[in-house]
Amino acid sequence: MLIAHISDFHVFADAPETPLVRPDAAEAARRVIDDIASHQPRFDAILFTGDLVDCGTAADYALLADILAPLDMPVFVVPGNHDNRAGLRAAFDGILPFGEGPYLNYEARLGDLRILALDTLVEGKVHGALDPSQLDWLAEKLTAELTTPTVIAMHHPPFPSGVPKLDAMALTDGCDRFGELVAAGDAPLYIFAGHIHRPIQAVWKGAFCQIGGGPSFQHALDLRPEAPEPGSIAEPYAYFILRIDAQGTVTIHRRYVSL
């Protein structure tokens, strides 16, 4: 099984909302999607961890649909802080099994792998949150199948990157309980996130964690405790490839794309 992990395209139809977003974000996104669509062997699925668009307008989501059109495999998405819940729900209505209620949480299956998608969007804010009802939903799902390998997809990372200014705008409300749920599980657990605009991997609470980079821009790396919020940096862009073989061995590759 092959899964591509992408994040933070920030495509826009008119003008960007985020100052750091490159003016040709849509073309950069197309190059990434073209690389994924032509990859051999074929991907079984794409995991897109938020900020699909930059302004959340209907025109943005129409542009996104055109960009994703070359893909002929399932695309599992979660909203980021620049997405619009109603717009995202409409764009993927009938494609993704969104649950009832205001949040875009859902459960999906990919062979023997389970995907639990979490909506961490706080409207009008940069940071992310999970309210008690979402955490109850996650707890129920995790305890219902104690041995099923599971990917948790979310935009805001619950684990630290080590970049202080970026970690301050990650998952805030609900993070402690989320960590308790992760630590309590016995099944193989993988947490895929975005938001930080740097490709990062970590082990947190016993789970393998990963943040996808963003082709719209990448933050510079500065691990000094007193460092200001990093600006963008011109670095090679890479998305992650998750490979799971018949024995359950998981291998992660970086696939570089020239933008």
Could you give the domains of the chain? 2-257 (3.60.21.10)
d(CA 103, CA 119): 6
Confidence at residue 146, expressed as pLDDT on a 0 to 100 scale: 75
What is the pLDDT tens value at each position of the chain, 259 positions in all?
999 999 999 999 999 999 999 999 999 999 999 999 999 999 999 999 999 999 999 999 999 999 999 999 999 999 999 999 999 999 999 999 998 889 999 999 999 899 999 999 999 999 999 999 999 999 999 988 778 899 999 999 999 999 999 999 999 999 999 999 999 977 789 999 999 999 999 999 999 999 999 999 999 998 888 888 888 888 999 999 999 998 889 999 999 999 8
| pTM check: above 0.85 | yes
Output the six-digit token pair for 41.
Answer: 């062997």
Give residue-wise pLDDT tens across range 19-73: 999 999 999 999 999 999 999 999 999 999 999 999 999 999 999 999 999 999 9
243-256 in b/e burial notation, b at 16+ Cβ within 10 A? ebeeeeeeeeeeee
Strands of 200-204's sheet in order across: 106-110, 113-117, 150-153, 189-193, 207-211, 200-204
Q: What average pLDDT is seen over the chain?
A: 94
Confidence at residue 83, expressed as pLDDT on a 0 to 100 scale: 97
